[in-house]
């Protein structure tokens, strides 16, 4: 696999940390030139230097700035995400809207910006970091579950439109990954349920999983890197679950 992405340009949103940083490292390790896109300008620049790539300091919630964007990318990894945990009746509408903007509207706008170039070159890989919550629901996560289900639909439509142009579109659906986003959820869920964070991990987050551990970011990145390569040229419109058996039930 080493060098299999030589000459390809990969843009990774939320690329400065967590899954995004692991994806940037995996893609760069296979020869791709990476663009680390993140609102954390310092973190993005630091990782870009490490990988001899580029950084893109961007506030993706400023969607108006993305509407006329032209995105030069052979590989687009839509990874940026946020989470709010709350019962529906207490869920603030502005929080719900912000999650839909970042996790549905932004991927749409970036795909829209990247497709003309991909079509022109006859090659493209859209890889959407979805979640097991794109296929299953959990209480207290109405906005996140809604957004991930919408991302699944967007990915499939992109696959159908892009197929004749050499562009594939797929979702990667991890369970709970060892990232700051999940670590913050432990505290939120502990507060909601009145239990310890250790109990949240074993009794709530991993209760449906056959493998009782968090997914590592590097495991997600390994699948992303494969989907980005030529060997996955016939893989499109699919959702690849990496959840330790949760959705097998």
Active site residues: 144
Shortest CA distance to 3 belongs to which of 23, 20, 28, 24? 28
Residue 162 contacts residue 155 (beta carbons within 8 Å): no
Residue 245 contacts residue 209 (beta carbons within 8 Å): yes
Please state, in angstroms and as integers, the Cα–Cα distance from residue 22 to each residue in 124, 128, 187, 217, following that order: 20, 14, 24, 6
Strands (DSSP E) contained in 32-176 are: 33-38, 54-57, 75-78, 124-129, 167-174
d(CA 62, CA 214): 32
Rama region for 61: left / alpha / beta (φ>0; ψ in -120 to 50; rest):
alpha
Please state, in angstroms and as integers, the Cα–Cα distance from residue 76 to each residue in 12, 170, 235, following that order: 6, 11, 16
């Amino acid at each position: 696999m080493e060098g299999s992405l030589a000459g390809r340009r990969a843009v990774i949103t939320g690329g400065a940390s967590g899954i995004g940083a692991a994806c940037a490292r995996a893609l760069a390790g296979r020869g791709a030139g990476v663009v680390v896109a993140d609102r954390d300008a310092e973190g993005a620049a630091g990782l870009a230097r490490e990988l001899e790539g580029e950084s893109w300091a961007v506030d993706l919630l400023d969607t108006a700035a993305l509407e006329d964007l032209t995105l030069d990318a052979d590989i687009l990894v839509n990874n940026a995400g946020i989470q709010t945990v709350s019962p529906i009746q207490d869920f603030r509408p502005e929080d719900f809207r912000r999650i839909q903007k970042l996790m549905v509207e932004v991927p749409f706008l970036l795909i829209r910006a990247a497709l003309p170039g991909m079509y022109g070159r006859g090659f493209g890989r859209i890889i959407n970091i979805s979640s097991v919550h794109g296929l299953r629901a959990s209480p207290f996560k109405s906005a996140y579950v809604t957004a991930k289900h919408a991302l699944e639909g967007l990915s499939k439509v992109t696959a159908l439109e892009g197929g004749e142009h050499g562009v594939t579109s797929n979702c990667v659906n991890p369970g709970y990954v060892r990232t700051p986003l999940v670590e913050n959820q432990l505290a939120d869920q502990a507060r909601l349920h009145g239990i310890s964070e250790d109990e949240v991990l074993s009794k709530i987050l991993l209760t449906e999983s056959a493998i009782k551990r968090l997914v590592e970011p590097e495991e997600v990145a390994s699948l992303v890197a494969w989907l980005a390569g030529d060997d996955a040229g016939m893989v499109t419109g699919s959702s690849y679950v990496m959840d330790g058996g949760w959705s097998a039930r």
